[in-house]
Amino acid sequence: MIGPAAVPDELVIEAGRTEAHYWRDLWRYRDLFYFLAWRDLLVRYKQTVFGVLWAVLRPFLTMLIFVVVFSQVAGLPSDGVPYPILVLAGMLPWQFFATALSDSSASLVSNANLITKIYFPRIILPASSVIVALVDFTITLGLLAAVMVWYRHVPPVQVVLLPLFVLLSLVAALGPGLIATALNVKYRDFRFVIPFIVQFGLYVSPIGFKSSVIEGRLGPLARLLYSLNPMVGVIDGFRWCLGAEPSLHLASLAISVITSVVLLGIGVRYFRATEKGFADIV
Amino acid sequence: MANPIISVENLGKRYRLRHQQQSYETLRDSLTATAKSWLAGRLATAIPSEEDFWALKDVSFEINQGDVVGVIGRNGAGKSTLLKILSRITEPTTGRIRLKGRVASLLEVGTGFHPELTGRENIFLNGAILGMTKTEIRRHFDEIVAFSEVERFLDTPVKHYSSGMYTRLAFSVAAHLRSEILIVDEVLAVGDAAFRHKCLAKMQSAAEEDRTVLFVSHDLAAIQKLTEKTLLLSHGRLQSFADTATCLAEYVASCSRSDATNLPRPLNSCPVILTELRLEDSTGRNTRSLKLTEPFDVRIRFSCEQPLRNAVIGIAVHTPNDVALFATHTNDFGTLLECSPGDWEAVCHVAPNLLRAGKYRISVGVLDHNLLVYHVADACRLSIEPILLDGSGHYDERIGELYMPMRWAVAPATLQSN
């Protein structure tokens, strides 16, 4: 007779059962999270000639276009701050959001071979694509720093709060990213919707102009409604930290933060509700 | 009864079969379907093109710690579905499973390998995918590399690997996974014989460490070698769960019309079933032990389920080390088989003085239009008895895989100038 051995905790698999150890499992698989992101980065830069340069080149060229179109042609005001800094402070977080959304939504379908053969918390796949986008984002922040040095623009003290807004942009990207990922597995034509959302979002986010323009032309209520777009809070925050915006509109920021958090909550719930069926339909 | 490490109750998995040639749902279709059902006042909501298919139904069993259990059944019997549910890749529709311990499943070798990455990088990536932590991988890294025998190519992208190297590396990572429960699907079907042997040994040692192993294979010889108990699935139901010998016999009986032999069913439902294989010495006696100097016949009786056209039936003789010595088939001298359904017999006359003394295995295969439609890896074993050298008490122990006496002429040399 063997005594009571150290019984590892029991796992029950049942239809419709929500995983009791979901978050603990996620923690156990943290290395996978890291390795997937590492794989994507490594592979991307192994196959290209320009490598890391791509991450910088794309926002740089877009910035040039924005600068020409908005400051020279449209003549939008920038209140004394160099216009390229204003544009970059808006465009970089936006580009992060757009990349995170499109990459994460494609992540499950492009890793279908993993999903049908191995168990791991599926949320790791879209999440690690978001992390890859975040790495690109930090590279482009270097570009922004270079532009600031070029214009001899010294950021104010609140620049130390910048990481908080990076975190907010992460939350803002992850929520819609998870929703899009789950929808993309179930409905294959959803991938046609994503570029549209990205393009549309570019114009409804305050990238070529300041959010205060909305308030100035359409009134304070319009600005609050406008802040339902989570990127409004992120971009305004970036500009404030970099001294491209004199003050932070707290109500507007609060609305953006709440929208981001709610979207993340919906995203995680929806993803978890559908993830067990992924292997059957992917 | 000890505490089971895996217990499965009334497990069922239902798939929806769509009869249209459309594999994915589209948002557009969902939306138009919803719109239609609204317009039709919800009368036409049922989508007629769907049908339920139970890949598994009412399956219950318990497995104790340290058991090595085989899973057999024909294609579509539900083996893979069972493994996928056990490894949490997909969710069951009904029933419940209790698992006590960490599960490592190996449903495919090299899942997640990236061709652009080097061997070293892939070890880390694949290890993480299989559920190892970075420290675990690092701890076993040298062992993994040694086991895989690809040290020299560690920093080469795996896209340049041969398929054998690729498989070896992939299996090595998986083999070093530490878990209480190990689920393995058919991965031993790859690689060369020597490596396959190594893999089997590795699995055997896993069992000796009191780990629980579930092993799916079509290779009944491997099941027999490795497992004590076997689950036999048939059409999604558990047909029996008993000791391996009983289960294999039942499996074979359910497939084969003649129960006099232990010849297993082919890989998938096939047009041919081997019913009997006889080795006959010169007197026509069925035996498994033959003299080196004696010719013998391999008499293959098979039953043809579907007509065969342009088919070939053949045998191969293998050494105990799984080296195929030679193969021969009915088309050696240009005869293609035309078989109508019914029972048939093929006889191969094997020349004497060909096989050295030793033990051999014969495999049988049927090819239809160059496609292997039937294969029995271990159709029969035979041994060739050694002979004594003339006039001495010693056995003939020459080297070489084959015994091929030749005529020699020896004479005093005469000087020749050409």
Residues B179 and B203 in one domain: yes
Instruction: Specify the CATH number for the domain of residue B321.
Output: 2.70.50.60
- Mean pLDDT over A236-247 rounds to 88
* Residue A214 in tokens: 């909305």
pLDDT value at position A73? 67
Amino acid identity, position A17: R
Q: Band of the pLDDT at B253, cuts 50, 70, 90? A: low
Statement: residue A8 has pLDDT above 70: no
Residues of B in contact with A2 (CB under 8 A): 2
pLDDT value at position B418? 53
Question: Which of the residues A119, A183, A189 would you substitute to probe the B interface, choosing the one with the greatest number of B C-beta atoms within 10 Å?
Answer: A119
Statement: residue B44 has pLDDT above 50: no
Give the residue from B252, B277, B312 where a domain finishes. Answer: B252
Interchain contact, A16 vs B91, CB within 8 Å: yes
Give the residue from B223, B252, B281 where a domain finishes. Answer: B252
| Alpha-carbon distance B244 to nearest alpha carbon in chain A (angstroms) | 26
A6 interface with B at CB cutoff 8 Å: no
Other CB atoms closer than 10 Å to residue B140's CB: what's the count?
Answer: 20
Residues B225 and B102 in one domain: yes
Q: What is the DSSP letter of B79?
A: H
Residues B240 and B277 in one domain: no
Are B59 and B6 a contacting pair, CB within 8 Å? no
Question: A23 or B371: whose pLDDT is higher?
Answer: A23
Tell me the β-bridge partners of B384. B290, B358
Q: Among A142-146, A265-269, B116-120, name the one with the lowest average pLDDT.
A: A142-146
Residues of A in contact with B91 (CB under 8 A): 13, 15-16, 276-277
Q: Band of the pLDDT at B2, cuts 50, 70, 90? A: low
Give the contacts of B392 (CB within 8 A, at least 6 positions apart).
none
Name the residue in chain A with its Cα closest to that of B123: A35
Residues B207 and B290 in one domain: no
ipTM of this predicted structure = 0.79
- Mean pLDDT over A9-34 rounds to 78
Average pLDDT of chain A to the nearest whole number: 83
- What does chain B come to in residues? 418
Statement: residue B20 has pLDDT above 60: no
pLDDT value at position B281? 87
Instruction: Specify the CATH number for the domain of residue B180.
Output: 3.40.50.300
Residue with tokens 């689950």: B231
Interchain contact, B131 vs A32, CB within 8 Å: yes
Other CB atoms closer than 10 Å to residue B258's CB: what's the count?
Answer: 15
Name the residue in chain B with its Cα closest to that of A277: B90
SS3 A169: helix
pLDDT value at position A191? 80
pTM: 0.68
Give the residue from B215, B232, B252 where a domain finishes. Answer: B252
Q: Band of the pLDDT at B258, cuts 50, 70, 90? A: very low
* Residue B376 in tokens: 């029995």
- Mean pLDDT over B387-409 rounds to 77
Residues of B in contact with A112 (CB under 8 A): none
Statement: residue B264 has pLDDT above 50: no
Strands B103-106, B181-185: pairing kind: parallel
Q: Which domain holds residue B328?
A: 263-385
Percentage above 90 pLDDT, chain A: 25
Give the number of domains in chain B.
2
Residues B233 and B90 in one domain: yes
pLDDT value at position B177? 80
- Mean pLDDT over A255-275 rounds to 93
Residues B247 and B272 in one domain: no
Q: Is the dihedral of CA B74, B78, B82, B83 positive or negative?
A: positive
A3 interface with B at CB cutoff 8 Å: no
Residues B127 and B81 in one domain: yes
pLDDT value at position A261? 96
Which whole-number Å values give the CA distances from A38 to A31, A45, B41, B305, in the listed order?
A: 10, 11, 53, 54
pLDDT per residue as tens digits for the range B21-30: 445 567 677 7
Q: Band of the pLDDT at A163, cuts 50, 70, 90? A: very high
SS3 A106: helix
Are B126 and B112 a contacting pair, CB within 8 Å? yes
